[in-house]
Structure 1
Amino acid sequence: MIQAVQDLKRLREISAVVVRHGFGELWDRARIWDVLGRREDAQRPSREGVRATTARRFRETLAELGPTFIKLGQILSSRPDILPPDFIAELSHLQDRAAPMQVETVFELIEKGLGRSAHELFASIDPEPMASASIAQVHRARLASGEDVVVKVQRPGIEEQIRSDTDLLFYLARFLEGVIEETGIYTPTGIVTEFRDAMLLELDFENEARNIDEFAHNHADRPYVVIPKLYRDLSSRTVITLQELKGVKLKTALDSGDSPGIDRKQLARHVLEASFQQLFKDGLFHGDPHPGNIMVMEGNRIGLLDFGLVGRLTKQMQESIIVLVLAISLRDPDTVARLLYKVGVPDQRINLHHFRQAIHDILDRYMGRKLSEVDPGVLMSELVDLAMKYKIKIPKEYAVLSKASATTEGIVRQLDPELDITQAALPYAKQLLYDRYSPASMSGGFLRVLLQLQGFLQDTPQQLAQILMDLEGGKFNVNVRSDELSRLNTNVKALGILLFTGMLASGLIVGAFSLAGRASEGVGQTVWPLAALIGLSLAAMLFGAALSWTLLSGRVKKISLRRFLK
């Protein structure tokens, strides 16, 4: 009962702020006032408020509503697939600041999170916080060994507050979703659900610790990138302790112009190379690489900070990005359209001709320009915007990558305007393609396909037999023409032939790989690889011949399942 009263009070507070910033029409259309009742403090916006841009009023609304909504805005600022560019730019200015906690409270939270008192674990802790945000507070500290560290401590009650606020957000989203047809492919409830999941993950400092470990492993052989050392024994779900990186924030270096000891061109290459390594090799990239999250260290090394937001790319995603870049460089709108349609999730059938033409119009604007004059981040953002217009939902990994890439390119162009970003990416793209289509990778992929095919051929006859038994037993009431039964019988026989041939070919392949594995044994260094090659060739020829025979003889034909079960 108490919680219900508190929720109603909070809903009224939210409503008053929403109306004050000029978004009352949403509440009117959603009939939220029928639940809350109008209040005197739900005043209409001033003239100045009305004149402000919608994006600015949206940012001011979130800022006034507090920590949960500020974090929502920050997460949305990395999602160009959800919001248009002017909103993205406006939300990037949201500042997450909060009144600092007393140092005694910090000590209590450290003891609660780590199981021992702060005085036992640290030689000293600076009472003045380095940063104080809505989720956590950061302090400098020193270990007994003399190492300088930073300790991030989660605010008490923040998880409960975020859960409560997101529950209210979900409640409001359902109202809006029921009356606003413009919600499109990104429904309000879907956005709130995704935000809640992201926030709860960010509240788990152990997840951030895992990200740091993975980044440290990936960058271990890259001396120009520094990942802060994680102190596992001084970290938990609510406390995390990291090495303090010595240097200056990249934002400070950019704002101050030429700084002594900083080679801007070399720094630009390091930022770009780190980004390309994450994109094309690691498949794990920093989701928020703004200048405040990058340290400039001695020797023009870069130190990465804040690993709460990261993106992950599968091999297939990496390949799609390469193909997209190549298609753009070749001004091939058909391939770009097919790829965007393939990686996305269309909300409805689209006119592919119009979609291709729209992409053609975008690419036309870049005709005649050198690759060095094309800003890949801006171009990618335009394509994401176009996908939104046609209601093609782009996976969030691509959207986060688009924003992160645009941020990185902006940094690089500030540091070294002459650096050709596209040309610098080519060696990484070529290496990724080589790794994908190398003999070792191809043979492994071929074997996986054959194993999958073998499983399919093993299962299909049994499944078809079960269907026939069910039909024979009268378990289906269907009308089947005799020619379809005849076709089904023919297909069963053909699949039986393919099954036998596939199993025989698989046996030859397994034997061939076994022979190849003995290649290091004495005289077999020449004989065994040759025998393996012959075995693989026979397997491919045998299976290919059987497959061709069945297809060309018309034995495998498609069955209309709709007609079959009509």
Structure 2
Amino acid sequence: MAINEFFFRKKSKHKLRRSREIIRVLIKYGFYRPPKKKISLKKTKKASIHLSRPERLRLALEELGPTFIKLGQILSVRPDLLPLDYIKELEKLQDQVCCSEEVQIDEIFLKNFGKSINDIFILIESTPFASASLSQVYKAQLKNGDWVAIKVQKPNVKEIIKTDLNILTDLANLSKIIVRDDWIFQPPLIVNEIKRSLTKEINFVLEGLNYERFSENFKNVDYVKLPKVFWEYTNTEILTMEYIDAIKIKELFACSSDKYDKKKIAERGARIALKQIFVDGFFHADPHPANVLVKPPATIVMIDVGMVGAIDTNTRKILLNLLNAFIDEDMDAVITCFKKLNIIKHDDHKFNEVAFRRDLYDMIDKYFGMPLKYFDLREISQELFRTIYKYNLSLPANLTLMLKAIGTVENTGKQLDPYFDIYSTIESFIKEDFLRKLSPSYIFNKSKKTLAQSVDILENLPNDVFNFVNKIKDLDGIKIKIDKDTQDKITKSIKNSVLLVSLSIIMAAVIISASVFIIYNQKNWLIILGLFMIFLIVLVFLYKSIFKN
């Protein structure tokens, strides 16, 4: 009864009109049964009787427009919230968005930049060559001869989104009547996530900044290309960027052209994703085949980077620990990592840890006992999602996006090359990244930061100790007398201890670095000689420090 009252109570003109449209589509695809006196159901049964519920949901979202398409796209990367048959169907939303009505580009440029398109461009193609749920993209040529792609928001998209979000918010608030607080499915949280995502994606300035950040991160990678942003013709509603003549990667799936090295494209796509996640901590969250272009023989072009994810350094460390815990079948470490990632709440007394451990162990025993080449990362991720969902747990959104992105890259790689093995690529990438972190330049840069922090601590140490002692003196019933000489001795002792620890850490890093270079047959003897010299210098400092004390 509550849902009927919601749809048929008095509303503002815009919300009422849109509510009627939403209810009409829901009825059409069999997701809502209103009072018989108000709306007929005859057409509904005929329209959807031969389709599965996931198919009907996808068609309903497509018909409802940008906000609901975005809702479907967000849900398609949340397998912890929906069954897998729905997830697979909602993934199709990404490639099946039709062009909107004609956009008056001249009016848009006059309104936003005070210039006619004839003052800026030699020509603009009247038909968009790409269309997404929120925008359409046109090819044009600037007066200087450069070809550009102009991404323009669809007509009235902000007004439609605003009305839709208001309606979804009302529905989410209404759901509190039947949804318990401890359920994983919390509509208000999902609506808030949609708001955050759409707010960012309809601001094309943010997408332009994403392009520039990715360009900076990949400036030393010669096989990655990102379009240049023309900021003089870019604002929140228009994004003008370099037009790159390339084909969508999905066009190579059934292509046998010798111009493209599909095996190398698959491997490079995986390396790009791994670098974004584990090195940069900033990744393209929607790298499906329509959002990746290729130029022959194996140059990868990233486009449509409005949807991104971020992972901080600490979370990346926990994820690596989690991977090692899975490989070692260490359930205690797995549970600890899940708690650190806030997947398991520390104060969740209803959580059945014993049963959860058993299911996780069964999953690990199933997959980690076989050779790596037979792994299917998507299948493993789905199994993990099912286990988490079973116990009413939820992954943080950024981790879900990360797993989805890696799974998409693996699936794309296998469609390009049936023998593509993402685990060999991961193994190679981790080895190279490990060596990078043990290189003298990396250690030196890290040491500079550590040294600056240590110097700051040591400079403030005497005053901190003195203030600490004074505070203790002021405590009732406690009298401590420390003279100046004793204070100096304490300070000196602490300084020496910090120095010894610092030198020991540096020595350990030098030993590990030299060992790794030798183990992995790195023949750069000049670097190894330099490390040996650093070792000797640190050894002398340690000897003098110990001898003095």
TM normalised by structure 2 equals 0.78
Distance across 2 between alignment mates of 1:383 and 1:499: 57
Equivalent position SS for 1:81: coil
Q: Which AA in structure 1 matches 2:232?
A: D
Equivalences for residues 362-441 of structure 1 within 5 A: 362-433=363-434
Corresponding residue for residue 524 of structure 2:
none
Q: Secondary structure at the match of 1:120?
A: helix
- Larger mean CA deviation between 400-409 and 413-422 belongs to 413-422
Query: Could you say which residue in structure 2 is the equivalent of 1:552?
Result: none
Tell me which residue corresponds to 1:214: 213
Letter in 2 for 1:55: P
2:529 match: none
Change (3 A) 1:127 1:463: farther
Distance change >3 Å, CA 461–CA 24, structure 1 → 2: farther
Q: Which one of 336, 344, 368 corresponds to residue 346 of structure 1? A: 344
Contact 1:80 1:403 in 2 (8 A): no
Aligned pair partner of 1:4 in 9, 12, 21: 12
For 2:92, what is the secondary structure of its paired residue? coil
2:158 matched residue in structure 1:
159
Give the equivalent residue in structure 1 for 2:265.
Answer: 267
CA distance in 1: counterparts of 2:224 and 2:38, whole angstroms: 55
Indicate the residue corresponding to 2:523 in structure 1. Answer: none
Change (3 A) 1:47 1:97: closer
1:115 partner letter: G
The one-letter amino acid paired with 1:113 is: N
Structure 2 partner of 1:545: none
**Residue 146 to residue 343, structure 1, CA distance change in 2 (3 Å):** same
Q: Cα gap change, 1:536/1:187 in structure 2, threshold over 3 Å: closer, same or farther?
A: farther
> Any stretches of 5+ residues in structure 2 without a counterpart?
1-8, 507-532
Residues 164-194 of structure 1: CA distance to partner in whole angstroms, max 9, x if unpaired?
A: 1101101011111221339823410110011
Question: Separation in 2 of the partners of 1:214 and 1:68?
Answer: 27
* Shift in alpha-carbon separation, 1:533–1:154, aligned structure 2, 3 A: farther
Q: Which amino acid aligns with 1:371?
A: L
Amino acid at match of 1:405: I
Q: Distance in 1 between matches of 2:42 and 2:438?
A: 63
Q: CA deviation at 1:90?
A: 0.7
Amino acid at match of 1:410: N
**Correspondence 1:186-197 to 2 at 5 A:** 186-197=185-196
Q: Distance in 2 between matches of 1:453 and 1:38?
A: 76
Aligned counterparts of 1:464 and 1:10: Cα–Cα separation in 2? 69
- Name the SS of the counterpart of 2:255 in structure 1: coil
Asked if the contact 1:231/1:241 (under 8 Å) is kept, the reply is yes
Secondary structure of the 1:46 match is helix
1:181 matches 2:180: yes
Are residue 327 (structure 1) and residue 325 (structure 2) matched?
A: yes
- Closer, same or farther: CA 89–512 of 1 in aligned 2, 3 Å: closer
Q: Deviations over 1:386-413 (max 9, x none)?
A: 2232233322111001111111000111
* 2:235 is the counterpart of 1:236: yes
How far is 1:273 from its partner?
Answer: 1.8
Question: What amino acid maps onto 1:403 in structure 2?
Answer: K
Residue 241 of structure 2 aligns to a residue in which SS?
strand
1:21 match = 29
Alpha-carbon distance change, 130 to 333 in structure 1, aligned in 2, over 3 angstroms:
same
Q: Is the 8 A contact 1:80 1:384 kept in 2?
A: yes
Which residue number corresponds to residue 202 of structure 2?
Answer: 203
Taking structure 1 as reference, are residues 504 and 230 closer, same or farther at Cα in structure 2, changes over 3 Å only?
A: farther
Partner of 1:520: none
Q: CA deviation at 1:160?
A: 2.0
Change (3 A) 1:421 1:80: same
Q: Which residue of 2 aligns with 1:519?
A: none
* Distance of aligned partners of 1:60 and 1:442 in 2 relative to their CA distance in 1, 3 Å threshold: same
Structure 1 distance, partners of 2:122, 2:496, is 65
Deviation at 1:140, TM superposition (A): 0.5
Query: 2:284·2:309 contact (CA, 8 Å) conserved in 1?
Result: yes
Alpha-carbon spacing, 1:114–1:532, altered in 2? closer, same or farther (3 Å): farther
Asked if 1 retains the 8 angstrom alpha-carbon contact of 2:338 and 2:344, the reply is: no
Match of 1:291 among 286, 289, 292: 289
Normalising by structure 1, what TM-score?
A: 0.76
Q: Which residue of 2 aligns with 1:246?
A: 245
SS in 2 for 1:24: coil
Give the number of equivalent residue pairs: 499
Equivalent residue number for residue 168 of structure 1: 167
Distance 1:444 1:41, change over 3 A: farther
The one-letter code matched in structure 2 to 1:162 is I
User: Taking every aligned residue pair, what percent have the same amino acid on both sides?
Assistant: 28
User: d(CA) in 2 for partners of 1:88 and 1:456?
Assistant: 56
Distance 2:489 2:10 in 1: 70
In the other structure, the counterpart of 2:514 is none
- Contact 1:250–1:291 (8 Å) recurs in 2: yes
The DSSP-based 3-state class of the residue aligned with 1:299 is coil
Are 1:505 and 2:513 an aligned pair?
no
| Secondary structure, aligned partner of 1:179 | coil
Cα separation, 2, equivalents of 1:184 and 1:166: 22
Match of 1:561 in 2: none
Q: In 1, Cα distance between the equivalents of 2:489 and 2:60?
A: 67
1:74-94 Cα offsets, whole Å, 9 max, x none, are: 122122233232221111112
Q: 3-state DSSP class of the match of 1:139?
A: strand
Cα distance, 1:109 vs structure 2: 0.8
Shift of 1:151: 0.7
Amino acid of the residue matched to residue 494 of structure 2? A
> Aligned with 1:152: secondary structure?
strand
Conservation of the 8 A alpha-carbon contact between 2:261 and 2:296: no
